[in-house]
Amino acid sequence: MKLLAGNSNLPLAQAIATYLEVPLTNASVRRFADEEVFVEIHENVRGEDVFILQSTSSPCNDNLMELLICTDALRRASAKRITAVVPYFGYARQDRKPGPRTPISAKLVANLITTAGADRVLAVDLHAGQIQGFFDIPTDNLYAAPVMAADIQQHYAGQDLMVVSPDVGGVVRARALAKRLDDNAPLAIVDKRRDKPGQSEVMNIIGDVKGRACILIDDIIDSGGTLCNAAEALMAAGAASVTAYLTHGVLSGKAVERVAGSALKELVITDTILATESTKACDRIRVLSIAPLIGEAIRRIADESSVSSLFD
C-alpha cells in the first residue's frame, strides 16, 4: 500500500500515515511560476495499491486540480489501483439544479475524478448520500457519527440531551447520531419558514427543548449562519445549552468570529479540513481527529475486508 498526500491537509495525511504505520510516498506536488500544478512521484508505484489523500477544501479549485493531476501521474506510473481519499468533498452542495440553466457541479467533479483515473473513492459525510451514485466506481462514504458520539459521551454524559437537526434535510443524520447515544436521545428539528416572500425567516422548533442540553448536528459549517441562528432559536425556546457537532469546518469569511459571538457553548468539528490559525485560536472551537477512522477504512479497503462493519 502507498499513501500519496496532496497539499490540502498535510497534518491529517500524516496522522493517517502514522495510524497505518506506512510512510507518505516521496513526491512533490508543486506549482510552476504561473501556478500550474505539477506532480512528480519520486518512488516506484508500479503495481501498487495507492491512496491519494486530498480534501477539495479551500482553495477548492486548486486542491481539486492537485487531486486530478496526482491521479493522472499515478495512472501513467502504472499503479495497480488508485483510491481518491477525499475527506471533504467540495462542490457536494451543488448536487441538483436549483433553477433553470444551472449546473450539477457535484456530478461534474465526480466525472472529473473518474476520468482522471481513480478506481475508487473514499469520502466522509458526503453532503447527500446520493452523491455516491454520481460515481460509477466504488465509493465508500464514512460517517463521523461514531467519533462524535464517543466525544459526546465523554463530555456530556449524564445531561438531559436532545439531538437537534438545524434543518429538515438533516433529520436522518441527527437520528443516526441520537441512536448512538445512551438512552437513544430524543430528537428536535429547527424548521425555517418564510411565510411570504420579503418576510423575514421564522425559526420554529419542532420538539420540546426546554431545559435540555441540545446537540446540534450538521455536515458543514460554512458562513455559520445556519448554526448560529439555530442556536439562538433553541436558547430562546428554553434550551439549557447548545453545542454543535459538525463534520466539515469550512468556516469561511467571518464564520469564526460569528461562532465566537454566538449562543453556542462549543463548536466541535473534525479535521477533514485543515484548521486555519483563527479557528485554532478560537477557544469556543474544538477539533476531533478523524484520522483513525479514515486510516482503518483504508486498511480494510486494502485488505478487502468490510468497511461498513466499522459503523455497526
* Contacts of residue 3, Cβ cutoff 8 Å, sequence gap at least 6: 13, 16, 17, 20, 22, 23, 24, 25, 50, 51, 53, 298
Q: How far is the CB of 245 from ligand R5P (least distance, A)?
A: 13
Nearer of residues 105 and 159 to ligand R5P, judged by Cβ: 105
User: What is the C-alpha separation between 251 and 49, in angstroms, rounded?
Assistant: 34
Cα separation, 92 vs 183, in Å, equals 33
Please, what is the minimum distance in Å from the beta carbon of residue 220 to ligand R5P? 4
Q: Which CB atom, from 72 or from 191, has the smaller least distance to ligand R5P?
A: 191
Query: Is 171 or 236 the residue whose CB approaches ligand R5P more closely?
Result: 171
Minimum CB separation from ligand R5P for residue 212, in Å?
A: 21
d(CA 165, CA 153): 19
179 is an active site residue: no
How many C-beta atoms lie closer than 10 Å to residue 237's C-beta? 18
CA gap 71, 4 in Å, rounded? 10
| Residue number with CB closer to ligand R5P (219 or 271) | 219
**Min separation Cβ 168 and ligand R5P, Å:** 10
Q: Looking at beta carbons only, is 96 or 179 nearer to ligand R5P?
A: 96
What is the spatial order of strands in the sheet that 187-193 belongs to? 202-206, 187-193, 161-165, 213-221, 241-249, 266-270, 285-288
The answer to whether the CB of 295 falls within 8 A of the CB of 310 is no
Quick check: helix, strand or coil at residue 186?
Answer: coil
- Given 80, 97, 107, 192, which residue is catalytic? 192
SS3 of the chain: helix, strand, coil, percent, to 5: 35, 25, 40
Closest distance between ligand R5P and the C-beta of residue 153, in Å? Answer: 24
CB of 121 to ligand R5P, least distance (A): 20
What is the C-alpha separation between 72 and 141, in angstroms, rounded? 23
Q: Is residue 291 classed as helix, strand or coil in its secondary structure? A: helix
Residue 116 has phi, psi (to 5 degrees) of: -65, -25
Q: Strand pairing of 213-221 and 241-249? A: parallel
Q: Which is nearer to ligand R5P, 66 or 219 (CB)?
A: 219
- Taking the complex as a whole, the smallest distance from the CB of residue 144 to ligand R5P amounts, in Å, to 13
> Of the candidates 284, 159, 170, 262, which has an alpha carbon nearest to the alpha carbon of residue 212?
159
Which of residues 25 and 243 has its CB atom nearest to ligand R5P in the complex? 243
Q: Which residues bind ligand R5P (CB under 6 A)?
A: 93, 166, 169, 218-226
CB 4 within 8 A of CB 74: yes
Point out the residues that are catalytic. Answer: 192
